[in-house]
Amino acid sequence: MEVLRVTGAFPLDGGLRIHGAKNSVLPIMAASLLVRGTTVIHNCPKLSDVQVTIRILEHLGCTVTREGSDVTIDAATLDRFDIPDGLMREMRSSVVFLGAILARCGKAEISSPGGCELGPRPINLHLEALKKFGAAIRDEGGNLSCSVSNKLKPCEIHFPTPSVGATENALLVAARCQGTTIIINPAREPEIRDLAEFLTKTGAVIGGVGSGIITVTGTAGGGAAYIEHSIIPDRIVCATYMAAAAATGGDITLENVFPEHVSPITEALRQMGVDISVSGGNIRVISNVHKGRGLTSAKPIETAPYPGFPTDAQAPLMAACLKAGGNTAFVENIFENRYRHCEELRRLGASIKTEGKTAIVSGVKKLKGASLQSTDLRGGAALVIAALSAEGVSHVAQLQHIDRGYESIERDLTALGAKITREVTRN
């Protein structure tokens, strides 16, 4: 079993480049199926979820090669329309292949997706959207079969609540549907814009991204035969290292950042006494602890769809609040089981009370190293942050969760001066 061995109480210092966004690259890799030729994706992070996506593409008949941060996908040889249960269970975002395969092949067969256990995440919004395009869907024991008897038809889709995955599936199908589709109340996350920009390169005309109504005029043909696209920086990875700097009394500069994408995190950290300055695509974070003063509590933090506070940044920011003076309230409005990391943080000496959607963090003077288990992707990152600010040595296990979204968290933190190593244990 692999664990991270973290020796805490060392302030982070230095500079780091943020890798490409996990939540952007995965749907864009699926969208490569709409290109009847070659797609080159730049700034592609080396994540376990990316590797699963590559295996899905190869299963479908595509040829995939990687050179550094560039991944080349040749979808001209696509010869399947199904994804086996084993691959679907490895990550939640695999459901985006439903729209991509349906748009390319006119039919698709998948099983229910897996991913972190964050509570119910039904895909009914995905399925209802696909039905609007004329797809017939059969669900038998968790196995989904989708097909179009004639051809995809443009439509109007009204989401009752914004859904990133459902919006992505709707965009993928609309891009290959002759005519204009209207998507009302779509998700507005930056990753949606990145996908839309990729789809325009395939021949679709897309307007209104980032607003309450998106219009997509699609093309029924194969579009471009060769596309290059560079993935946007990962805003949650950026938020994680900002929180780590705050918690440890650090002074770091993060490069390759879109500062507007992390503005809710920036606002919360500034309330806590963290100095944050922006210069182009760089963010400098200087913690009050670095100046000999302590962090203070932030105003209540409520997670919400973009441009609100991202649910993925809730756990990392909570870790930065563990030693902040006063009480910080968190309200989780997106997922039911997003406080599973709190029990692990208490092992370090954190004072956290949870009830329903609310968690109250009361700052403590010190944390002490402990053995910890990652509960999910962002919860695992929170444990690493807390361990960095604790006295003594901590061990963080269940690294498969963390590896889904961080290219090499120990490499990045070591570059910033952290005492952290990945080790193999017999337990």
- For residue range 193-220, what is the model confidence (pLDDT) as tens digits? 999 999 999 999 999 999 999 999 999 8
Query: Is the confidence at residue 129, as pLDDT, over 50?
Result: yes
Q: What is the pLDDT of residue 427?
A: 61
Rounded to 5 degrees, what are φ and ψ at 411?
-65, -45
Could you list the residue range(s) of the whole structural domain that residue 371 is in? 2-19+233-424
Q: Cα–Cα distance between 410 and 413 in angstroms, integer?
A: 5
Confidence band of 401 (pLDDT split at 50, 70, 90): very high
Region of 87 (left: φ > 0; alpha: ψ -120 to 50; beta: rest) is alpha
pTM for the full model? Answer: 0.95
Q: Cα–Cα distance between 132 and 114 in angstroms, integer?
A: 25
Query: Is the confidence at residue 135, as pLDDT, over 60?
Result: yes
Q: Are residues 79 and 211 in the same domain?
A: yes
DSSP notation for 22-44? HHHHHHHHHHGGGSSSEEEEES-
Provide the domain count of the chain.
2
By percentage, how much of the chain surpasses pLDDT 70?
A: 96
What ranges make up the beta strands (E) of 275-403?
Answer: 275-279, 282-286, 301-302, 327-331, 351-355, 358-362, 371-373, 393-397
- Which residues participate in catalysis according to the annotation? 116
Q: Which of the pair, 1 or 329, is modelled with greater confidence?
A: 329
* Domain final residue pick, 230, 249, 277: 230
Query: Is the confidence at residue 118, as pLDDT, over 50?
Result: no
| For the chain, the helix, strand and coil percentages under 3-state DSSP, each to the nearest 5 | 35, 30, 35
Confidence band of 336 (pLDDT split at 50, 70, 90): confident
Q: Which of the pair, 112 or 290, is modelled with greater confidence?
A: 112
Residue found by looking up tokens 């190593």 in the block: 421
Q: Are residues 225 and 258 in the same domain?
A: no
Q: Are residues 225 and 290 in the same domain?
A: no
* Domain final residue pick, 214, 230, 246: 230
Q: Cα–Cα distance between 16 and 345 in angstroms, integer?
A: 26
Q: Are residues 53 and 13 in the same domain?
A: no
Query: Is the confidence at residue 117, as pLDDT, over 70?
Result: no
Q: Cα–Cα distance between 383 and 291 in angstroms, integer?
A: 24
DSSP category for residue 106 = S
Q: What is the pLDDT of residue 297?
A: 96
Q: Are residues 142 and 176 in the same domain?
A: yes
Q: Are residues 185 and 137 in the same domain?
A: yes
Q: Which of the pair, 224 or 173, is modelled with greater confidence?
A: 173
By percentage, how much of the chain surpasses pLDDT 90?
A: 86
Q: What is the pLDDT of residues 143-161, one digit of tens each?
A: 889 999 889 999 999 999 9
Q: What is the pLDDT of residues 249-262, one digit of tens each?
A: 999 999 999 999 99
Q: Are residues 284 and 377 in the same domain?
A: yes
Q: Are residues 366 and 323 in the same domain?
A: yes
Query: Is the confidence at residue 290, as pLDDT, over 80?
Result: no
Q: What is the pLDDT of residues 22-66, one digit of tens each?
A: 999 999 999 999 998 999 999 999 999 999 999 999 999 999 999
The answer to whether 358 and 316 are in contact (CB under 8 A) is: no
* Domain final residue pick, 174, 208, 230: 230
Average pLDDT of the chain, as a whole number: 94
Q: Are residues 8 and 137 in the same domain?
A: no
Which helix (H) or strand (E) segment holds residue 213: the answer is strand 213-218
Rounded to 5 degrees, what are φ and ψ at 165?
-60, -45
Q: Cα–Cα distance between 402 and 408 in angstroms, integer?
A: 9
Residue found by looking up tokens 């968290």 in the block: 409
Q: Are residues 15 and 30 in the same domain?
A: no
CA distances from 367 to 320, 329, 360 (A): 12, 19, 17
CA distances from 332 to 174, 300, 311, 328, 360 (A): 32, 11, 7, 13, 11
Contacts of 219 (CB under 8 A, 6+ apart): 175, 176, 178, 202, 203, 204
Residue type, 36: R
- Work out the average pLDDT over 358-368: 97
The answer to whether 353 and 326 are in contact (CB under 8 A) is: no
Confidence band of 288 (pLDDT split at 50, 70, 90): confident
Q: Report the b/e string of 292-309 with b at 16+ CB within 10 A.
A: eebbbbbeebbbebbeeb
Rounded to 5 degrees, what are φ and ψ at 109?
-135, 120
Name the nearest CA neighbour of 307 among 261, 243, 357, 257: 261
Q: What is the CATH number of the domain that holds 317?
A: 3.65.10.10
Q: Are residues 174 and 265 in the same domain?
A: no
Q: What is the pLDDT of residue 115?
A: 42
Q: Are residues 293 and 215 in the same domain?
A: no
3-state secondary structure of 218: strand
Confidence band of 426 (pLDDT split at 50, 70, 90): confident
Query: Is the confidence at residue 91, as pLDDT, over 90?
Result: no
Q: Cα–Cα distance between 187 and 168 in angstroms, integer?
A: 9
Region of 153 (left: φ > 0; alpha: ψ -120 to 50; beta: rest) is beta
